[in-house]
Structure 1
């Protein structure tokens, strides 16, 4: 959905810059869902197919994420290639946080889902208390961008736990999970456009729900389970297919600038 309501902003710590995140267009949602799918399959690809193991995969993606975030914070404007590279890797790392808790420490998925929900709610509460807005149209200071990426990280960790909880622990399977999360996103979209639900609330609800949707899509395409379903393309093929699609769309947006906030609009709101 496209958010059209821009919240008032207040002075914030850090340098002023152009909006550091893309405008919410159809391209945004398509790429976001594909990034969440890659987050699910790439984590399994590195862990199992390449034999990195869960611990080494976590260290590798954590280091890569740190490098990409450092690059992202250096720019004063939204750069599609860097921004979406961060989203892809933070999706993988968020998946690994949940996988480590589940596989290495035997934390139940229900517990992980509840804990990450509480942490995410706390991040939102602190962000709003400090900045008085959760609008993605106003990511124009270093502090707001830090809140933004911290929020994104925990949406991915939560989405992984919730998606696995529904598909596997609840024995619903991947296809049914896709239908449930897609239906939930459709309900949020309806509430936003028809019932006038707050634009910022609608955005974040949809953003959270795209993570388990993408994870379920990734499992449906890569896995071949008699119990849970799947078409059996494998994590390698699924990861490469979606990465190629993401790269093509990001290249298109880099050239056309269709998802960039006009500088005059950003300046007018800050």
Structure 2
């Protein structure tokens, strides 16, 4: 998914987008971030027995801190950006579980509510800005809508993953295959489609990577009797996080090397 869009006016030409380009590496890291969000959220709420409400508050504090750093940055900073994404996936996991289980809404109602919330946010974004962005985020207005969409979509993704695996009875492995298939359809539309706005395809893919990561995370850590591999949540989270950090670090190093080379020419 590498289709690009042009920056729309001369003023934006002098500004640097604060988010990464939607390349293949972007989507790989995003799936890792959503998977670690699932395993990490469950590790804190279940393994460490903090409960959904307390775990949500902990991750919400982490989200506020990382988002503050992101907003204050004047350009894309890989470590900060992906820290915010991981924060939204972890708080999304515990928030969704709180709505589904503690508040008793269930997967169907919570999924419907969160899906409606995402659509309303995108509609408000278009109404206010005249467009929906995904990779040219340079102004505070777009940044607010960008991160709000991500936070709610990652919460939605957790609910959708649980709904598919539990309510529909597909299990975690088949649930992961369903969302991988839907994501593949979006990727095909991204490549060959001309009628669907690319920003809509981006956000559709962004939403779908969350339940994909959720079902993958549950496949790794749930007990054997529930169709999982019964891996330790904390160890699995650290391993996935390590892979994520390694990829982001390599990308960051390549970016610095490219800029150094261009400056020297």
Correspondences of 1:81-100 after superposition (within 5 Å): 81-100=79-98
1:48 is aligned, of 46, 56, 74, to 46
Report what 1:113 is aligned to.
Answer: 111
Matches within 5 A, 1:207-222: 207-222=206-221
Q: Which ranges in structure 1 are unaligned for 5 or more consecutive residues?
A: 261-270
State how far apart, in whole Å, the 2-side matches of 1:100 and 1:231 are.
24
Which of 154, 157, 160 pairs up with 1:156? 154
Aligned to 2:167: 169
Match of 1:234 in 2: 232
Q: Deviations along 1:34-59, whole A, 9 cap, x unmatched?
A: 11001111111011222222222111
- The within-5 A match list for 1:60-75 is 60-75=58-73
Q: Is the 8 A contact 1:166 1:177 kept in 2?
A: yes
Structure with greater proportional helix content = 2
* 1:58 corresponding residue in structure 2: 56
Distance between the aligned counterparts of 1:36 and 1:96, measured in 2?
13
Could you list the per-position Cα deviations for residues 86-143 of structure 1 after superposition, in whole angstroms to 9, with x for gaps in the alignment? 1001110111211111121111110011111111101001111111121223210111
RMSD over aligned Cα, in angstroms? 2.0
Contact residue 39 and residue 236 of structure 2 kept, 8 A: yes
Question: Aligned pair 1:18/2:16, yes or no?
Answer: yes
Structure 2 CA distance for aligned equivalents of residues 9 and 50 of structure 1: 50
Provide, for residues 212-265 of structure 1, a one-character-per-residue CA deviation record: whole Å limited to 9, x for no partner: 001000011111242x4111212112201110001101111211128x9xxxxx
Query: How many Å apart are 1:7 and its aligned residue?
Result: 6.3
- Paired position in structure 1 for 2:176: 178
Tell me if structure 2 keeps the 8 A contact 1:7–1:135.
no
The CA deviation string for residues 9-58 of structure 1, in whole angstroms up to 9 with x for no partner, is 6989xxx8420100111110000001100111111101122222222211
Q: What number of residue pairs does the alignment pair up?
A: 256
Consecutive aligned runs of 4 or more in structure 1 exceeding 4 Å deviation: 9-12
Cα distance in 2 for partners of 1:54, 1:158 equals 16
Which sections of structure 2, spanning at least 5 residues, go unmatched? 259-265
On the 8 A contact 2:3/2:191 being kept in 1, the answer is no
1:263 aligns with: none
Comparing 135-144 with 27-36, greater Cα deviation is found at: 135-144
Contact 2:45-2:52 within 8 A present in 1 as well: yes
For 2:186 and 2:54, locate their aligned partners in 1 and report how far apart those are by CA, in whole Å.
38
Give TM-score, length-normalised by structure 1: 0.89
- Give the one of 29, 32, 57 matched to 2:30: 32
- The aligned counterpart of 2:202 is 203
Shift of 1:8: 3.3
Structure 1 residues 123-142: aligned runs within 5 Å:
123-142=121-140
Provide the TM-score with structure 2 as the length reference.
Answer: 0.91
Helix, strand or coil: the match of 2:135?
helix
